[in-house]
């Protein structure tokens, strides 16, 4: 298939592009390289040294003989260019990762809230609009988030996207209706993925677009078989307080002797997936498209759930690291359970990579190898969800006073 990977220079986009290319697909990355600009804005860099996208694709060709093409397009702004690109290249499938994906970054300031909304919602809408306008009947696979559901548990498993509810009619009968599971976003970033859901629902219904939405959990790990082929194919690895995600952050902190930064009591339960399962899920979703006229196909792309403090304790046990329980900069439930269904991917043959498989130490090894690149002052998460919370988070577990960013 000819596949456009939008956001193919990012943390999940890059290993996905390599994986799809390795499987013989003709891969075209479309990216505005915004993630690299955000690194510059924040004054941080990936733990792993990353080459330019052109250099990465050159090495891929050198190592495998396969070509990945790169096109510099900003989906949120360059609507006419996107439309021309689609009309000319007519991909069979489009994988859409091209959104600002960090909750703390989206909550940093009013400017960051505006940026995240404008960028993410416009990118998705421009894409859908251009697909209809050009008549490109590609299967669209979008990377959404488990965070669209919120994380609360009422004692029932979160279904894959849809909920059947009983509604009482005027005559007193109960009729059954299928609705999108009610959204309950915990950040501006998560809210953009909720808005995306509605855009997808409309375009699938109105224009018959074939759309799959993947509600992904927190990704951990860094390597996939393809990124390991050459040092210059290495994936990016974020450890900073805005883009670093919880499990990868904890592992890096343990590797460099920084107290593990648990927010609050660490009673938050979240869904997780290893990066190599993430790319495999995208391949499975691409191989199983909905038909035109079908409702949006929604998968929960996660393999296990864990409580934050259990992860911290596990890593402390393995590595001997200290744990710091810090004021939580986020407005979120201090304790929650989480049960979610993921039967569809399992039925399609996904074999989950779990925490038990010894891959935690692989990440600690990566972290130790590149420890010299870590700026310890960028580890604390100082982006606060409200003005009141902002007053409580200006410190890190090493006792250094931190200047708030943004
Ligand atoms: N947390 C800590 N200490 C830290 C970092 C995080 O205790 O040093 C806590 C947070 O307060 C939160 C939980 O760990 O309760 C998860 O935080 P996270 O930064 O790992 O994940 P999140 O902000 O939810 O976002 C990440 C990705 C996002 C994706 C989402 C999936 O950045 O793109 O959509 O995970 S999900 O969490 O299922 O919504």
| Number of structural domains in the chain | 1
Report pLDDT digits (tens) over 143-201: 999 999 998 777 889 999 999 999 999 999 999 999 999 999 999 999 999 999 999 99
Active site residue 193: yes
The answer as to whether 74 is a domain residue is: yes
Q: With respect to residue 229, please indicate whether it lies within any of the assigned structural domains.
A: yes
Provide the CB-side half-sphere exposure for 21 (13 A, CA). 26
Is residue 145 annotated as a catalytic residue, yes or no? yes
Establish if 54 belongs to a structural domain: yes
189 is catalytic: yes
Contact between 28 and 89 under an 8 Å Cβ cutoff? The reply is yes
Q: What is the pLDDT of residue 399?
A: 56
Instruction: Please tell me the distance between residue 246's alpha carbon and the centre of ligand 1 in angstroms.
Output: 6
The answer to whether the CB of 332 is under 6 A from ligand 1 is: yes
Set 151, 193, 222, 305: catalytic member: 193
Say which CATH number the domain at 152 has.
3.40.50.720
Say what the pLDDT of residue 191 is.
98
Best probe residue, ligand 1, of 100, 187, 246, 250 (max atoms within 8 Å of C-beta): 246
Helices 308-319 & 246-256 angle (0-180, nearest 10)? 30
Q: Is 145 in the pocket of ligand 1 (CB under 6 A)?
A: yes
Q: Give yes or no for residue 188 CB within 6 A of ligand 1.
A: no
The rounded distance, in Å, linking the Cα atoms of 68 and 54 is 9
Any atom of ligand 1 within 6 Å of the Cβ of 311 = no
Is the C-beta atom of 83 inside 6 A of ligand 1? no
- From the CB of 249, is ligand 1 less than 6 Å away? yes
Q: What is the pLDDT of residue 203?
A: 98
What's the predicted TM-score (pTM) here?
0.96
β-strands 162-168, 174-180 pairing: antiparallel
74 SS3 class: coil
Give the model confidence (pLDDT) of 217-254 as tens digits: 999 999 999 999 999 999 999 999 999 999 999 999 99
Best residue among 308, 331, 333 to mutate for probing ligand 1's pocket (most ligand atoms within 8 Å of CB) is 308
Residue 273 CA, ligand 1 centroid: distance in Å: 12
- Quote the pLDDT of residue 394: 63
Ligand 1 near 262 CB (within 6 A):
yes
- Does a structural domain hold residue 387? no
Nearest residue (by CA) to ligand 1, atom 23, is: 103
Residue 94 belongs to a domain? yes
Copy the structure tokens of residue 385: 């969800």
Most distant CA pair in the chain: distance in Å?
70
Domain span holding position 75 = 2-238+272-304+337-355
- The ranges of the chain with pLDDT < 70 are 394-406
Closest residue by Cα to atom 19, ligand 1, is 245
What pLDDT does 403 receive? 43
* Residues in Cβ contact with 260 at an 8 Å cutoff, skipping those fewer than 6 apart: 250, 253, 254, 312, 315, 316, 321, 322, 323, 324
For ligand 1, the distance from its centroid to the CA atom of residue 332, given in whole angstroms, is: 11
User: CA separation (Å) from 65 to 25, 55, 62, 279, 354?
Assistant: 13, 14, 6, 21, 32
Q: What is the pLDDT of residue 358?
A: 74
Is the residue at 374 inside a domain?
Answer: no
Q: Is residue 348 part of a domain?
A: yes
In a domain, 207, yes or no: yes
Q: Is the CB of 268 under 6 A from ligand 1?
A: yes
Mutate to test the pocket of ligand 1, among 151, 263, 380 (most ligand atoms within 8 A of CB): 263
């Amino acid at each position: 298939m000819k596949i456009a990977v939008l956001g193919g220079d990012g943390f999940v986009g890059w290993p996905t592009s390599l994986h799809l290319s390795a499987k013989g697909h003709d891969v075209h990355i479309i990216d505005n390289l915004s993630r690299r600009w955000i690194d510059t804005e924040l004054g941080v860099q990936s733990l792993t040294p990353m080459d330019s996208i052109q250099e990465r694709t050159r090495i891929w060709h050198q190592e495998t003989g396969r070509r990945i093409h790169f096109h510099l397009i900003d989906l949120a702004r360059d609507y006419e260019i996107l439309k021309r690109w689609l009309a000319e290249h007519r991909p069979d499938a489009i994988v859409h990762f091209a959104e600002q994906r960090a909750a703390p970054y989206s909550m940093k300031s009013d400017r960051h809230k505006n940026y995240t909304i404008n960028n993410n919602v416009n990118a998705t809408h421009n894409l859908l609009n251009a697909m209809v306008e050009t008549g490109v009947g590609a299967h669209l696979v979008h990377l959404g988030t488990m965070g669209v559901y919120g994380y609360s548990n009422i004692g029932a498993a979160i279904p894959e996207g849809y909920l059947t509810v009983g509604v009482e009619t005027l005559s007193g009968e109960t009729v059954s209706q299928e609705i999108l599971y009610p959204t309950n976003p915990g950040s501006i970033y998560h809210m953009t993925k909720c808005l995306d859901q509605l855009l997808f629902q409309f375009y699938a219904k109105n224009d018959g677009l074939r759309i799959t939405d993947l509600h992904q959990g927190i990704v951990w790990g860094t390597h996939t078989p393809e990124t390991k082929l050459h040092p210059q194919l290495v994936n990016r690895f974020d450890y900073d307080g805005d883009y670093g995600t919880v499990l990868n952050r904890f592992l890096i902190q343990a590797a460099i002797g920084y107290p593990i930064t648990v927010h609050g009591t660490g009673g938050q339960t979240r869904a997780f997936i290893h990066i190599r399962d993430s790319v495999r899920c995208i391949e499975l979703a691409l191989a199983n498209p909905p038909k035109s006229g079908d409702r949006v196909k929604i998968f929960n792309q996660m393999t296990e759930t864990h409580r934050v403090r259990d992860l911290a304790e596990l890593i402390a046990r393995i590595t001997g690291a200290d744990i710091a329980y810090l004021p939580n900069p986020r407005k979120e439930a201090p304790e929650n359970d989480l049960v979610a269904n993921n039967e569809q991917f399992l039925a399609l043959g996904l074999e989950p990579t779990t925490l038990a498989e010894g891959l935690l130490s692989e990440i600690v090894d990566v972290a130790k190898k590149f420890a010299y690149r870590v700026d310890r002052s960028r580890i604390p998460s100082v982006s606060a969800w409200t003005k009141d919370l902002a007053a409580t988070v200006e410190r890190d577990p090493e006792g250094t006073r931190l200047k708030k960013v943004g």
